[in-house]
Amino acid sequence: MDLFIINVIDGLIYGLLLFMLSSGLTLIFSMMGVLNLSHAAFYMLGAYLAYQISVYTGFWVGLIVAPILVTILGAAVERYGLRRVHQYGHVPELIFTFGLFFVIEELVQYIWGRSMVNYNSPESLDFIAFNLAGGSIPAYKVFMLLVSVGIFLALYYVLARTRVGMIIQAALSYPKTVEALGHNVPLVFMGVFGVGTGLAGLAGVIAGPSLTTFPGMAFLLGSIVFVCVVVGGLGSLFGAFVASLLIGWLQTFAASYNIGAADILIAFGYEYPKDVYYHPWRDLWTLTLPQIGPILPYILLILVLVFRPNGLFGKRET
């Protein structure tokens, strides 16, 4: 039971982190129809920029400045890259963002080297927030949770309650009409792309200290974010939220419960082989839940795409 509560909290933090990425991704997709495959690269960029800034000024300045830099960079990518590629069609757009992912990844290695950098949480948050069921929750995790929830509420408020949000929502479904009403739709596109990547950058800034900042961090999270967005339904913000939490918990629980296939097989009356390392089914016998944890999201993705191509909450055909 203790482990269960700890896992619920850890999964929640991870899921909300995923949501910070997937919300921007799904907004960009629903607006421009293009799945930004370089999204996780901006997440990594956020972490590295914050690290570089924190070296000089400390964590808190990096927390503010790095996401802004990433936002500007993202907007520039939309303005000078994606807008040009857009005329060739959707497939070149996907290829462009895919290529951009690798360029950013290589650039990060070029600038900061191939090994991890020493990006730490601020000292003011280096204490244990509270003890819970035998385990302890560090204050930084609480901080991550608060930032994620804050971003979620702010996003909801902007989209649902403000004029800008209304224009964005309208531009999602009827870009031509919105343009005819005199709104600058390309500017809205640029803004949404910038803010979306900026959110990814912010996620990187706060995830960097706890998940370590290294060149593989984008690759590690990148595909999982697509899984969240696709499983939730492309273009559905609520779907992205549900899917992010689902996958956050799925991965956290899978990683911490050491259930092996051997236990199940023995329960079904099979006998454990004597020399398991030379047994033809040795992989099945030694299989454990933490081992298959990383591939569970992909199985979920394929199942969802096969049986419900619109995703769990998606409304439109892709």
CB of 303 to other proteins, least distance (A): 10
Cβ 208 to other proteins shortest distance, Å: 20
**What's the residue count for the chain?**
318
Could you tell me the two tokens for 93? 């757009």
Q: How many residues bind other proteins (CB under 8 A)?
A: 44
112: left (phi over 0), alpha (psi -120 to 50) or beta: alpha
- When computed from its CA atoms, the radius of gyration of the chain, rounded to whole angstroms, is 21
Contact string (CB under 8 A) for other proteins, positions 186-225, x = contact: ---------------------------------x---x--
- Residues 265-304, one symbol each (x = binds other proteins by CB under 8 A, - = not), give ---------------x-xx---x---xx-xx--xx-xx--
**Contact present, 76 and 48 (Cβ < 8 Å):** no
Residue 315 binding other proteins, by CB under 8 A: no
Spatial contact of 50 and 256, defined as CB atoms under 8 Å apart: no
Q: Which listed range, 55-63, 139-147, 178-186, 227-235, lies at the site for other proteins (CB under 8 A)? A: 227-235
Least distance from other proteins to the Cβ atom of residue 29, Å: 8
Closest listed residue to residue 42, CA positions, set 77, 79, 2: 77
Up-side HSE of residue 158: CA atoms within 13 Å toward CB?
Answer: 11
What is the C-alpha to C-alpha distance for residues 166 and 216, in angstroms, rounded to an integer?
Answer: 38
Binding of other proteins by 306 (CB under 8 A):
yes
Binding map of other proteins across residues 53-82, x = CB under 8 A, - = no contact: ----------------------------x-
Amino acid residing at 17:
L
Segment near other proteins (CB under 8 A), from 90-98, 119-127, 189-197, 207-215?
Answer: 90-98
Which of 227, 228, 237, 247 binds other proteins (CB under 8 A)? It is 227
Alpha helices by DSSP H, the chain: 2-32, 39-57, 59-77, 83-85, 90-112, 139-161, 163-173, 175-180, 185-211, 217-232, 237-256, 261-267, 282-285, 289-292, 296-307
Binding residues for other proteins (CB under 8 A): 35, 81, 84-85, 88, 90-92, 94-96, 98-100, 102-103, 106-107, 109-111, 113, 219, 223, 226-227, 230, 234, 280, 282-283, 287, 291-292, 294-295, 298-299, 301-302, 305-306, 309, 318
